[in-house]
Amino acid sequence: MIYNGAKAKIYLKYKGSIEDISKVISKGMILPEFYFETDEEYPHNVTSNCEALGFSIWLNKLTDENDFNYILEIETNLSLEESFNDLLCDLSPWLAKYVSEICGIETFVNI
């Protein structure tokens, strides 16, 4: 199969605010600072994102009570059609290992 982009979705276990974890991830992965905004819809959660090397990166706090309380997602830019057609290579296992080792954050992948 030929892939025309990549994606990943991992869960993170972190005791701290979304601002704090974003700083840890930005420093460890050498990313620009995350931008923060509030959802327009209730419960108005804070969401964050940044872009680097052709990837959009989203970091969000999960609202349900779970040990893994954050989710980190990445996807190549300009790959909407590939995403709908499931033609993105899934880098989730690699990203989970990388974030765990580089940033010292416990991770989980739901495969």
Sign for the CA dihedral angle at 103, 38, 91, 13 comes to: positive
According to DSSP, the β-strands at 70-76 and 55-61 are antiparallel
pLDDT the model gives residue 78: 84
The tokens for 2 are: 């030929």
Contact 99, 29 (CB under 8 A): yes
pLDDT in tens, 91-102: 999 999 999 999
Delineate the domains of the chain, giving CATH numbers in brackets.
Answer: 6-108 (3.30.160)
pLDDT the model gives residue 81: 83
> For the chain, which ranges sit under pLDDT 70?
none
In terms of pTM, does the model score above 0.75?
yes
pLDDT the model gives residue 4: 83
pLDDT the model gives residue 42: 76
pLDDT the model gives residue 47: 86
Contact 109, 10 (CB under 8 A): yes
Per-residue buried b or exposed e for 58-86, using 16+ beta carbons within 10 Å of the residue's own CB: ebbbeeeeeeebbbbbbbbeebeebeeee
